[in-house]
Amino acid sequence: MDFYQEKKPVLVALDCIIFGFDKKELKLLVIKRDFEPSKGNWSLVGGFLQPDEDLDISAKNLLQHLTGLSNIFMEQLHCFGNVQRDPGERVISVAYYALIKLEEHDQELVESHNGKWFTLDEMPDLIFDHNEMIMKALQRLRQKARYQPIGFELLPDKFTIPELQLLYEVIHQTNFDRRNFSKKILSKGILKKLNEKQKETSKKGAFLYKFDKKKYEALVVKGFNFEL
């Protein structure tokens, strides 16, 4: 600090990459800006850090404001700080990513903010470095999903094994053997089997499960490592 004497404040933005899973596909929530700058273009959900707000809190508020959800899996992704990233003025942006259960969010609220869900294929170009942010978030999600049970954040509370498998297949862009997958995931002992079946996708119906978070946390304390 004897080196950098000058203290010049800069603007700090927050941007949020919001993932959802709609039973078949991974989707991302972006908004069409009806305000300047870049009005009419698509961008991530964002805002500015307020001087009296913790960074993490600020990010949670941002998300809640848009989706009506609180208590969401959300994690800081990266701070983007190239000089020219915002053509207007110098703004650095702290990006967060969130995983939400699609059926729990407030669809009307999202629409009222011009929010729209896109799959990766359909994703329009976004402003500034927001495309880059999404790419980084995707990498992180894939990486993280390998060694932490975060998939459940994207599914309803009750889900079937085939649903869970499909989610992981979509995330990792691959296919798993049904038998091996269910063996592996059940062997972890972190799923509670329910006495209900989900009969929407098949005639026989598939058993519903819940993620047993308490059990998982207890296991982690004992050195347990989730790994797909």
Partner DNA sequence: GCAAAAGTGTTCGGGCTACACCCATGA
Partner DNA sequence: TCATGGGTGTAGCCCGAACACTTTTGC
Q: Which residues bind DNA (CB under 7 A)?
A: 160-162, 177-180, 182-184, 199, 201-207, 227
Minimum gap (Å) between residue 122 Cβ and DNA: 24
Minimum gap (Å) between residue 141 Cβ and DNA: 20
Site residues for a second copy per CB under 8 A: 1-4, 6-12, 14, 33-35, 46-56, 58, 62, 65-66, 76, 78-83, 90, 92, 94, 113
Minimum gap (Å) between residue 50 Cβ and a second copy: 7
Q: With respect to a second copy, which residue has the nearer C-beta, 50 or 202? A: 50
> CA-to-CA distance for 200 and 160, rounded, in angstroms?
11
Side-chain-side CA neighbours of residue 84 (13 Å): 0
Query: Order of strands, edge to edge, in the sheet holding 42-43?
Result: 42-43, 26-32, 115-119
Minimum gap (Å) between residue 37 Cβ and a second copy: 9
184 binds, among DNA, a second copy, none (CB under 5 to 8 A by kind): DNA
The answer to whether the bond into 87 is cis (omega within 30° of 0) is no
156 binds, among a second copy, DNA, none (CB under 5 to 8 A by kind): none
Instruction: Kindly state the DSSP code that residue 133 receives in the 8-state scheme.
Output: H
Nearest CA to 143 among 97, 202, 191, 91? 97
Q: With respect to a second copy, which residue has the nearer C-beta, 127 or 219? A: 127
Q: What is the CA radius of gyration of the chain?
A: 20
